[in-house]
């Protein structure tokens, strides 16, 4: 078969038909072993893909894995900024992503030229950026954070430190409220998390008074106010495992429900409703671009590959390494 690599420009992935007769899961496993590849999967991808990943985790756990793996190839089942972060941390490894178009609306809400202008307008500020950003933003950043360590990293800085926090205004507002800081916020948001409907969540709660509302800090403030636990995907999962309740209304991308049900099969998990009940908006369309077929082609042809310019990589790496160092020191 002639492989048309220009497909990647048009589709973002190799559009090579995969025979219906092959067992994709066992073929992927074979290719993975042959090529000494590791599959890192985020909690938001489809459950079938989570089950064949070598590591499933939140953004912090996956970047920690990417920094220490001894595999030759990293296949990232997540979105582009995650694969890019893996490449920045492991430049000698080949980093693959099944679909290059798996972007992130939150990362897109922070263009590098505008952010650079904002940073220059505020000299003397320490720049903290959420990991959901491009390499260009990370290069303008002092310390990267994830939703797992943002609170602790902000608290580790002197109380009078002037801080810019970008790009997620909801996470920034939440961190300001729990730390008592007054960080200057970039006005970005995630299209999945900002659309959860408070009214519909409260209606669901009235119908299920025994259910606890739990939410990711990327949600808007009204949703966070009514939530009984707020945390990263890993934190939400852990909470449902250790908390005595049997029912939860979960305000984050619905992929996390797969691990919650696996860990606590006797508990009930209800995805928080979206503003528009017909759109399936509590699914991240970018995360859901990952499929078994694309993963198979990606491993087989080692395409699409993620590259980062070396000058940019070196600048971006510093802020990610600072996050990993502080997290290790804090035992996170
Ligand atoms: P965490 O997995 O770090 O909680 O982040 C959620 C997210 O939005 C990833 O894109
Ligand atoms: Fe980005 Fe939102 Fe999708 Fe996470 S859920 S990858 S923040 S668009």
251 beta partners: 215
On whether the 193-271 domain is CATH 1.25.40.390, my answer is no
Q: Give pLDDT tens digits for 9-56.
A: 889 999 999 999 999 999 999 999 999 999 999 999 999 999 999 999
The whole-model pTM stands at 0.95
Q: Give pLDDT tens digits for 183-213.
A: 999 999 999 999 998 999 999 999 999 999 9
Query: Contact at 8 Å (CB) between 138 and 321?
Result: no
Q: Is the pLDDT of residue 277 over 90?
A: no
Q: Where are the domains of the chain?
A: 5-102+287-301, 106-189+314-330, 193-271
Higher pLDDT, 332 or 242: 242
Q: What is the CA radius of gyration of the chain?
A: 20
Average pLDDT rounded to a whole number, residues 159-176: 98
Strand spans (E) along the chain:
37-42, 55-57, 73-77, 94-96, 126-130, 143-145, 163-166, 184-185, 212-215, 229-230, 247-251, 268-271
Cα–Cα dist 210/189, whole Å: 30
Q: Tell me, using a 6 A CB cutoff, whether residue 281 lines ligand 2.
A: no
Identify the nearest ligand to the CA of 253 by its number.
Answer: 2
Query: Which CATH entry fits the domain spanning 5-102+287-301: 3.30.360.10, 3.40.50.720, 3.30.1330.10, 3.40.50.10800?
Result: 3.40.50.10800
Looking at residue 211, its pLDDT comes to: 98
Q: Give pLDDT tens digits for 301-323.
A: 999 999 999 999 999 999 999 99
Average pLDDT rounded to a whole number, residues 150-167: 97
Q: Tell me, using a 6 A CB cutoff, whether residue 233 lines ligand 1.
A: yes
Tell the residue nearest (CA) to atom 2 of ligand 2. 190
Looking at residue 90, its pLDDT comes to: 94
Looking at residue 289, its pLDDT comes to: 97
Q: Give pLDDT tens digits for 206-245.
A: 999 999 999 999 999 999 999 999 999 999 999 999 999 9
Looking at residue 280, its pLDDT comes to: 65
Q: Tell me, using a 6 A CB cutoff, whether residue 190 lines ligand 2.
A: yes
Identify the nearest ligand to the CA of 105 by its number.
Answer: 2
Q: Tell me, using a 6 A CB cutoff, whether residue 232 lines ligand 1.
A: yes
- C-alpha 269 to ligand 1 mean position (Å): 19
**Taking the domain 106-189+314-330, which CATH number applies?**
3.40.50.10800
Average pLDDT rounded to a whole number, residues 121-144: 98
3-state SS string for 279-325: CCCCCCCCHHHCCHHHHHHHHHHCCCECCCCHHHHHHHHHHHHHHHH
Query: Contact at 8 Å (CB) between 170 and 99?
Result: no
Looking at residue 274, its pLDDT comes to: 80
């Amino acid at each position: 078969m002639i492989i048309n690599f220009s497909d990647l420009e048009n589709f973002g992935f190799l559009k090579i038909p995969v025979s219906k007769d092959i067992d994709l899961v066992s073929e992927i496993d074979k290719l993975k072993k042959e090529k000494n590849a590791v599959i890192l999967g985020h909690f938001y991808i489809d459950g079938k893909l989570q089950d064949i990943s070598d590591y499933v985790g939140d953004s912090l756990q996956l970047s920690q894995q990417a920094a220490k793996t001894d595999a030759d190839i990293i296949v990232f089942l997540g979105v582009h900024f995650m694969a890019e972060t893996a490449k920045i941390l492991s430049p000698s490894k080949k980093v693959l992503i099944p679909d290059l178009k798996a972007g992130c609306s939150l990362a897109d809400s922070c263009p590098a030229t505008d952010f650079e202008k904002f940073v220059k307008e505020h000299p003397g500020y320490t720049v903290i950026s959420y990991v959901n950003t491009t390499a260009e933003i990370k290069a303008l950043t002092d310390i990267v954070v994830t939703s797992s360590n943002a609170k602790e990293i902000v608290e580790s800085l002197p109380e009078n430190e002037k801080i810019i926090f970008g790009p997620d205004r909801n996470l920034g507002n939440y961190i300001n409220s729990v730390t008592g800081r007054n960080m200057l916020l970039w006005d970005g948001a995630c299209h999945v998390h900002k659309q959860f409907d408070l009214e519909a969540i409260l209606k669901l709660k009235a119908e299920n008074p025994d259910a606890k509302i739990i939410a990711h800090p990327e949600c808007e403030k009204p949703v966070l106010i009514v939530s009984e636990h707020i945390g990263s995907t890993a934190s939400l999962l852990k909470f449902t495992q250790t908390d005595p309740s049997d029912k939860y209304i979960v305000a984050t991308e619905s992929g996390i429900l797969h691990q919650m049900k696996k860990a606590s099969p006797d508990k009930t998990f209800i995805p928080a409703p979206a503003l528009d009940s017909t759109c399936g908006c509590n699914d991240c369309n970018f995360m859901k671009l990952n499929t078994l077929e694309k993963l198979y082609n990606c491993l087989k042809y080692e395409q699409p590959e993620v590259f980062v310019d070396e000058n940019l990589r070196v600048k971006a790496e510093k802020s990610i390494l600072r996050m990993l160092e502080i997290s290790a020191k804090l035992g996170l």
